């Protein structure tokens, strides 16, 4: 496919960012830009496509960035997607941004991070706490082709990406001197600006770190040493390298926000990172993984036998993917509509989506069989996803990071159980993909959980409300009655969870708290995944494309059944034909060339 695309009649156009004389003109709204990127990247299985799987896998084998595709995304102006509209970019809501990124992540997770999303992770600190000069300069640098990356502080559960840190000390007359070293930083060998979490006080208190904008153009060359690229098992095409700073002078105006605000800024901005990793990289990558499995089943000796074991696995993973996307979209839309309340939900989204889709990847590997080890252009992308997706989620370190946010939330659940008041449901707008697009105001992100409903959990309250309303749908048929029964089981489990939290937190032996608390966090995350699933189904348009799939009970019924079994609940048996019919809907999407997520977007 050539890159001289134009928008269809009636589509408003905006100029791309200043990316050279061949910069492309792109549609103005997020969903239209997502379709534009999909068309721009072309058919991934066309051997002649320079942005297809053959080219992407060849670059991965060489441990190189797919330069032609990275250049195409630069001409599209991908960096403008990370710059707020009031600063000259295209960024409004993160739900729309996740849609734009999914075509990239469906093809190459490493490319999505290395050529794109890492820049937002870095810049979001500036959008959140930077002064007007820092915001303006950062926007101009990104729009002009500058490359930003982020230097995280070290975590207790550090992996190679999070290990190592920098320290700063003030100097007479103003400014700082920074020392330190990190071995594995994405784009460290190519970045112009490093948004850096730097230790400015001893200990592990909330004021231990600060954030600095380290512009290599303003730092003396003698003090900055870029370390060689690190070899990684996953995301091999991404440039992971290191950075060492030795007695590096840093001007006072490089400080972002206040000194000692680094931990707070991490808590605030990681909400955006978690939601986009879940809703962009993980859901987008798993969409492709499921597509490989459907293709493999169709090419097997028996073909697509929908009532067999393979059909049940495909239907189950499809249901999980829709449920995970329901949770991811709820998290993204919460950031757009009420970012001050997103701290706990964003952590739960990342925790649940990472865990569920990791299990599903193992199930799909069984369907692919030997094809799952094929390194050729037809199936090689699956093996690449197996390597790349764990890196996207930061593995155990990412889990520990989200648990640190979620465990304190158990006190809120305990309070709800003691009060006996279920509270107010989260609004339907959270569970309506693509509706009421709003602009994320980064400055409203909060490092403290802000509960708008006096201690209740609005997502769990949504589950209770959906379960109560489903009782009125029983007369529509056995599948509706089964979904109502299953929702009632989950509503009971919500109450049990609150009681268990109250009992646990009432124990005097707090030393035994952590292991039991982590079990309750697991259960909480599965329950809000179920809540999102039920709420998206309830708010879906029955007249929408795809035969109104999302408004029907089958996918929610199968997803909740799988969640219930993970929780060890007594779940009713599925009515006959549910898995077979859902597998058939999956195959319909496959043959129609549509994505497997909530949006069902047309693919090239």
**Phi (first) and psi of residue 553, to 5 degrees:** -85, -15
Of the candidates 277, 261, 223, 225, the one whose C-alpha atom is nearest the C-alpha of residue 126 is 261
Domains of the chain: 13-145 (1.10.540.10), 149-258 (2.40.110.10), 265-592 (no CATH)
Determine the 3-state secondary structure of 315 from DSSP: helix
**pLDDT (0 to 100) of residue 162:** 57
- pLDDT above 50 for 455: no
CA 499 and chain centroid, separation: 31
Of 20-34, 56-70, 197-211, 397-411, the one with minimum mean pLDDT is 20-34
pLDDT digits (tens, 9 = 90+) for 32-64: 999 999 999 999 999 999 999 999 999 999 999
Determine the 3-state secondary structure of 185 from DSSP: strand
**Phi (first) and psi of residue 210, to 5 degrees:** -130, 165
Cβ–Cβ < 8 Å for 186, 118:
yes
**pLDDT (0 to 100) of residue 456:** 57
- pLDDT band per the 50, 70, 90 thresholds, residue 384: very high
Helix residue spans in 338-431 (DSSP H): 343-368, 380-392, 395-406, 410-419
- DSSP label of 84: B
Distance CA 111, CA 66 (A): 8
Please report where in the chains the tokens 């870095």 appear, as a residue.
122
Of 122-126, 284-288, 415-419, 528-532, the one with minimum mean pLDDT is 415-419
Beta-carbon contacts of 601 under 8 Å, excluding residues fewer than 6 positions away, are 34, 35, 38, 99, 102, 594, 595
Please report where in the chains the tokens 């007594």 appear, as a residue.
570
pLDDT digits (tens, 9 = 90+) for 244-300: 999 999 999 999 999 999 999 999 999 999 999 999 999 999 999 999 999 999 887
Task: Enumerate the β-bridge partners of residue 150.
Answer: 195
Token pair of 454 as six digits: 């006096």
- pLDDT above 50 for 454: no
Q: What is the pTM of this model?
A: 0.92
Cα distances from 340 to residues 142, 346, 360, in angstroms, run 26, 11, 32
β-pairing verdict for 255-256 and 209-215: antiparallel
- pLDDT band per the 50, 70, 90 thresholds, residue 391: confident
Of the candidates 561, 508, 557, 563, the one whose C-alpha atom is nearest the C-alpha of residue 537 is 557
Distance CA 354, CA 385 (A): 13
Token pair of 430 as six digits: 């959270």
Cβ–Cβ < 8 Å for 432, 196:
no
Distance CA 552, CA 489 (A): 19
End-to-end CA distance of the chain: 10
The continuous run of DSSP H or E covering 551 comes out as none
Of the candidates 600, 354, 438, the one whose C-alpha atom is nearest the C-alpha of residue 95 is 438
- Rounded to 10 deg, the angle between the 132-143 and 118-129 helix axes is 160
Q: What is the CA radius of gyration of the chain?
A: 24
**pLDDT (0 to 100) of residue 602:** 95
Cβ–Cβ < 8 Å for 545, 433:
no
Of the candidates 462, 485, 489, 488, the one whose C-alpha atom is nearest the C-alpha of residue 474 is 485
């Amino acid at each position: 496919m050539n890159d001289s695309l134009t928008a269809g009649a009636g589509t408003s156009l905006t100029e791309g960012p200043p990316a050279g004389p061949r910069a492309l003109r792109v549609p103005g709204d997020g969903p239209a830009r997502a379709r534009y990127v999909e068309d721009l990247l072309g058919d991934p299985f066309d051997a002649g496509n320079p942005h297809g799987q053959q080219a992407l896998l060849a670059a991965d084998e060489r441990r190189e960035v797919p330069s032609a595709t990275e250049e195409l995304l630069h001409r599209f102006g991908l960096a403008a997607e990370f710059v707020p509209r009031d600063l000259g970019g295209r960024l409004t809501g993160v739900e729309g941004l996740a849609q734009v990124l999914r075509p990239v992540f469906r093809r190459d997770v490493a490319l999505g991070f290395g050529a794109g999303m890492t820049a937002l992770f870095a810049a979001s600190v500036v959008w959140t706490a930077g002064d007007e000069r820092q915001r303006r300069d950062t926007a101009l640098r990104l729009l002009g082709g500058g490359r930003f990356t982020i230097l995280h502080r070290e975590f207790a559960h550090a992996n190679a990406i999070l290990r190592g840190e920098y320290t700063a000390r003030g100097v007479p007359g103003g400014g700082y001197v920074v020392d330190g070293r990190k071995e594995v930083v994405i784009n460290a060998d190519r970045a112009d600006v490093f948004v850096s979490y730097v230790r400015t006080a001893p200990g592990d208190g909330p004021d231990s770190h600060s954030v600095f904008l380290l512009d290599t153009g303003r730092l003396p060359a003698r003090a900055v040493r870029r370390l060689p690229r690190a070899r990684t098992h996953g995301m091999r095409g991404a440039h992971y390298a290191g950075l060492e700073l030795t007695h590096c002078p840093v001007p006072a105006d490089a400080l972002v926000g206040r000194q000692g605000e680094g931990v707070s800024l991490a808590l605030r901005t990681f909400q955006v990172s978690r939601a986009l990793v879940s809703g962009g990289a993980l859901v987008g990558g798993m969409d492709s993984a499921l597509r490989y499995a459907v293709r493999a089943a169709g090419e097997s000796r028996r073909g697509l036998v929908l009532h067999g074991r393979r059909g049940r696995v495909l239907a189950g993973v499809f249901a999980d993917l829709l449920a995970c996307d329901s949770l991811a979209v709820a998290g993204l839309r919460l950031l757009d509509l009420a970012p001050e309340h997103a701290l706990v939900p964003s952590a739960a989204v990342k925790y649940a989506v990472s865990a569920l889709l990791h299990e599903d990847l193992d199930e799909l590997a069984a369907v692919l069989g030997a094809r799952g080890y094929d390194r050729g252009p037809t199936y090689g992308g699956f093996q690449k996803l197996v390597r790349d997706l764990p890196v996207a989620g930061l593995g155990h370190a990412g889990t520990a990071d989200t648990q640190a946010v979620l465990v304190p939330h158990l006190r809120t659940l305990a309070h709800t159980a003691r009060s006996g008041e279920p509270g107010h449901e989260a609004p339907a707008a959270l569970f309506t993909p693509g509706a009421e697009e709003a602009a994320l105001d980064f400055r409203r992100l909060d490092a403290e959980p802000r509960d708008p409903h006096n201690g209740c959990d609005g997502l769990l309250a949504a589950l209770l409300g959906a379960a109560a309303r489903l009782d009125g749908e029983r007369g529509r048929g056995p599948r509706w009655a089964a979904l109502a029964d299953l929702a009632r089981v989950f509503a009971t489990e919500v109450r049990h969870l609150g009681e268990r939290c109250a009992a646990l937190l009432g124990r005097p032996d707090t030393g035994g708290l952590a292991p039991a608390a982590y079990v309750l966090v697991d259960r909480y995350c599965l329950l809000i995944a179920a809540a999102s699933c039920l709420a998206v189904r309830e708010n879906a348009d029955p007249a929408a494309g795809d035969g109104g799939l999302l408004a029907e009970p089958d996918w929610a019924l199968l997803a909740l059944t799988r969640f219930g079994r993970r929780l060890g609940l007594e779940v009713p048996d599925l009515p006959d034909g549910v898995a077979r019919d859902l597998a058939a809907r999956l195959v319909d999407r496959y043959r129609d060339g549509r994505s497997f997520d909530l949006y069902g977007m047309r693919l090239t």
